[in-house]
């Protein structure tokens, strides 16, 4: 623990795994891409680097987990059910 009982911030990659996997879709937070729809802010992960950052298809640069909206694994399932 850090000073005054605060936990220190650990590395961005959780113990025992990563926050994202190749092929997953991630959505940039609206604050990062203002004026764009969710679909325009959504990209597919091409590669996850050892540091936990991601490289996206059709979008330059490496991006950290904090640049994206929290992952909702049930979102795609709900959308499929609504379209059925």
- What range defines the domain where residue 60 resides? 19-83
Domain assignment present for residue 67? The answer is yes
| Residue pLDDT, tens place only, 6-48 | 655 544 445 446 788 999 999 999 999 999 999 999 999 999 9
Q: Is residue 33 part of a domain?
A: yes
Higher pLDDT, 81 or 1: 81
How many domains does the chain fold into? Answer: 1
Report the distance separating Cα 32 and Cα 75, nearest Å: 21
Task: Examine residue 43 and state whether it is found in any structural domain, yes or no.
Answer: yes
Q: Indicate whether 36 belongs to any domain.
A: yes
Give the pLDDT of residue 11.
Answer: 47
What is the pTM assigned to this prediction?
0.69
| Residue 24 CB partners (closer than 8 Å, separation 6+) | 44, 45, 71
pLDDT, mean of residues 45-65: 95
* Domain assignment of residue 31, yes or no: yes
1 lies in a domain?
A: no
Q: Answer whether residue 65 shows pLDDT above 90.
A: yes
Q: What mean pLDDT is predicted for residues 51-61?
A: 95
Q: Is residue 29 part of a domain?
A: yes
């Amino acid at each position: 623990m850090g000073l005054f009982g605060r936990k220190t911030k650990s590395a961005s990659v959780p113990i025992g795994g990563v926050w994202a996997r190749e092929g997953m879709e991630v959505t940039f937070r609206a604050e990062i891409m203002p004026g764009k729809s969710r679909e325009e802010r959504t990209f597919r992960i091409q590669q996850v680097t050892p540091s936990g950052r991601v490289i996206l298809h059709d979008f330059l640069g490496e991006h950290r987990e904090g640049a994206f909206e929290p992952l909702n694994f049930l979102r795609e399932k709900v959308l499929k059910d609504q379209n059925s």
